Amino acid sequence: MDVKWFKQQQKKAGVTADEISARLGRDRSLVSRIYVERQKMTLEQAQIFAEVLGVPIEDVIERAGIAGPSVAQRVALGFSDGDAAPFVHRGPEDRATPTIAQALGARSGIDIWTIRTGALALMGYMPGDHMLVDTLQADRAAPGDVVVAQVYDNARGSATTLLRRFEPPVLVAASTAPADRRVHVVDGNNVVIRGKVVASWRAA
């Protein structure tokens, strides 16, 4: 953890650790715990740090010690587009979201995400809904589990985040959209499960 770099970026962005914690939707001590390495930064938290500090997510991933440069770049690509994204607290309308998430079991390793598309609309997961994604269970997804995965296209140098049902060894959608009909084989390299959905809810 390169704390010096993070504090320099905070100063440049004009934000405090308390403000970053608020954007993460957690208590004020979260950033401090991450900085002193009492708590490891998750990929979802890295995305929010990147947005708040105004720096590339791959820099955050590398400086936080989550992954080396090549892996950081590949992971960063997966957050650029897709069916879901880490939740970012944007204002008063999001005030209840962290409270609901904590009641449903949000904690280190279980993060809030927001659904962007109707890839699982036929299962009731609609755009704008929130969900808890357990990144600690990424390797333990079972048949029928709803998961967040990343699909890499090395030829194009791009990646996409998918929200899908896991039917080993493939990921399948539950949508009437033709673009969602393709199945993806989880191979741990080009298609990687990043977390298992353990709860979801619809904002009022």
Residue-wise pLDDT for 107-134, tens only, equals 777 888 889 899 999 999 999 999 999 9
Alpha-carbon distance 184 to 173, whole Å? 10
Q: Which two tokens stand for residue 3?
A: 């704390």
Buried b (16+ CB within 10 A) or exposed e, 92-125: eebeebbebbbebebebbbbbbbbbbbbbbeeeb
pLDDT above 90 (res 64): no
- Residue 72 is predicted with a pLDDT of 61
End-to-end, the C-alpha distance of the chain in Å comes to 38
The DSSP call for residue 195 is E
Domain extent, residue 143, equals 81-204
Cα separation, 159 vs 190, whole angstroms: 9
Same domain as 173, residue 101: yes
Is residue 140 pLDDT above 80, yes or no?
Answer: yes
55 contact partners, CB below 8 Å, separation of at least 6? 9
Asked if 125 and 167 sit in the same domain, the reply is yes
In the structure, what pLDDT confidence band is assigned to residue 155 with cuts at 50, 70 and 90? Answer: low
Bridge partner residues of 160 (DSSP): 151
Report the pLDDT averaged over residues 61-67: 82
Query: What's the half-sphere exposure (Cβ side, CA atoms, 13 Å) at 132?
Result: 21
Which pair of structure tokens corresponds to residue 204?
Answer: 């009022």
Residue owning tokens 């995305």: 47
Of 79, 112, 137, the position where a domain reaches its end is: 79
69 and 119 inside one domain: no
91 and 143 inside one domain:
yes
Q: At 17, which CATH number?
A: 1.10.260.40
The domain tally of the chain equals: 2
> What does the alpha-carbon distance between residue 161 and residue 192 come to, in Å, rounded to a whole number?
10
pLDDT interval class at 154 (50, 70, 90): low
Tokens representing 108 are 């280190």
